[in-house]
Structure formats: structure tokens, C-alpha cells
Amino acid sequence: MKRISFYSIYTVLLCVLFTSCDVDNYDGPNAKFRGVVIDKTTGKGIQTEQPNGFKIKWTELSWEYQDNIQPEYFWGKIDGSFNWEYAFGYAGSLYEVQPVQGAFVTPEPQQFSLEKGDYPNFTFEVIPFIHIDWEYALEGMELVVKFKATRPEGSTDENFYALSTTRLFISDKTKYVGGMNTGGFINDLSKRIKLNESDLGVEQTVRVELESGKKYYMRVGVQTKNPSNAYNYTEVAEITVP
């Protein structure tokens, strides 16, 4: 009886195994999509960080179970670009893609179809909550940074987000320097700047003493009280102190 029971259980397990294999034997992802989010004030990819900079929301609108359509999300990159390699292309497909949860006015989504092997490229132009003009120079071993923050036209049409944190971020370890990157900046060197609404449009100057013979990465970031607490940034600058 024990032997019969053993073989019965073994047979059932084999059936379950092979049945599972049959059910899960679907084709894998066969299409991709990519793009860039352009800062309207600079004409370049918006400067952000990864993760915690902005997300790409994408939805398969042609999903056969219409009552259960759910969007998916992934992080955009530090230079405003994004890339996704796990989509499914098929005849009659309909997708929607949209940058969201960033330090910018959310743009309208774009819809598209995907066939097997497709790799479309999308461009979104956005208005940042804060625009930052800046310049910097080394005076001996002292870094001098001058910047001016402004609210671009159209940045407050939908929501006005008060200023939160303004900081010169400096790192000697990573070029991915930023406020939401844990360990991504040197706290003692990354100066906080008191920036009020009345200071917008007024040039600010920050001075920091650096060490000789070291390489640093730095940029200015201004955070508003937006839902994602995302920063607006300058580009990352690399500085080597003689």
C-alpha cells in the first residue's frame, strides 16, 4: 500500500509539473521603447536623478482584460532619458506612455502601437518647476559657485509648489550626485542655501574650500514641495583641484 501511495503521489506531481510547463510556456517580451524628457528652458534632457527623479508610466490599453487594466512604472535616468526592453508587440496593440512624478509640469501622454521587434523613440517637452542658471570657478582651492533660480513661465499654471530645500551638492565618489541619492554627496561640503520666494531671480554665491589633488562632482539643486519631493538640477560638473 505504501508503494502504491508513493507512486500515486509521484504521478500526480509529474502531471502538475508538466501541466505547469505547458501553461507557462508563453513567448517572452519581443519589443522595446525609449525616449527622452526635454527641459523646455534648456532644450536638453531634463536634469534629474535615478532613482527618485521621475517615473515613466506606461499602460497596455489593448490588454484583453479591459476591466483590469493597470499602469506600470519605471524610473527615468539622470539625463532625462528612459528605456524599457520588456514590452510585448502584436497586431492591434495599443499602448500609452507618459513621464510623471517629476519636478516638472506633467505632459500629455502619447499613444502608440507595438509590433514584434519594434523599438520606437519618444520625445516629451516639459516645463520644470524651477530653472537654474549657474557658473563656477576655482580660485586656488576654493570653489566659487554663482547661480540664479527662477520659475519658468507656465510652471505654476496648474499647481504652485513652495520652495523647500536649495543646496550645492558635492561628491568625491560618484557623478550621480543628488539630494535623494543616499551617500551621493559629502554633507560637510554640500552647502545649504536659504532661498526664499523673494530670492528668485537674484544671483546667489556659494564658496567651498576643497582639497588639493582630488576630483569632485557637483551641481546645484532646488527642491519644491511637489508631491514627489523631486529636485530641479543643473548639469553635473566635474572639477579637479590641482
Q: Which whole number is the average pLDDT over 21-33?
A: 74
Q: Among 19-23, 40-44, 212-216, which is the least confidently predicted range?
A: 19-23
pLDDT computed for residue 170 by the predictor: 97
Using 50, 70 and 90 to split pLDDT, how confident is the model at 4? very low
**In this structure, is residue 19 part of a structural domain?**
no
pLDDT digits (tens, 9 = 90+) for 163-221: 999 999 999 999 999 888 767 789 999 999 999 999 999 999 999 999 999 999 999 99
Say if CB 135 and CB 144 are below 8 A apart: no
**In this structure, is residue 14 part of a structural domain?**
no
Give the C-alpha separation, 86 to 15, whole Å. 31
Q: Which of residues 80, 110, 126 is at a domain's end?
A: 126
pLDDT computed for residue 24 by the predictor: 53
pLDDT computed for residue 68 by the predictor: 84
**In this structure, is residue 6 part of a structural domain?**
no
**In this structure, is residue 5 part of a structural domain?**
no
Q: Which of residues 126, 142, 177 is at a domain's end?
A: 126
Residues 234 and 189 in one domain: yes
Say if CB 193 and CB 165 are below 8 A apart: no
Residues 138 and 224 in one domain: yes
Q: Which of residues 96, 126, 156 is at a domain's end?
A: 126
- CATH number of domain containing 173: 2.60.40.2060
Residues 49 and 135 in one domain: no
Nearest to 39 by CA among 101, 118, 132: 132
Average pLDDT, the chain: 90
Residues 118 and 46 in one domain: yes
Residues 113 and 50 in one domain: yes
Domain membership of residue 226 as a residue range: 131-240
The fraction of the chain above a pLDDT of 70, given in percent, is: 88
Per the structure, the count of domains in the chain is 2
H-run or E-run covering 178: none
* DSSP string across 179-226: TTSTTSS-TTTS-B----GGGTTS-EEEEEE--TT-EEEEEEEEEE--
Residues 142 and 116 in one domain: no
Amino acid identity, residue 91?
A: A
pLDDT digits (tens, 9 = 90+) for 48-105: 998 889 999 999 999 878 788 999 999 999 999 999 999 999 999 999 999 999 999 9
Give the C-alpha separation, 156 to 85, whole Å. 34
pLDDT computed for residue 144 by the predictor: 98
Q: Which whole number is the average pLDDT over 222-241?
A: 97
Residue 43 has pLDDT above 60, yes or no: yes
**pTM for the predicted model, two decimal places:** 0.85
Give the C-alpha separation, 206 to 186, whole Å. 15
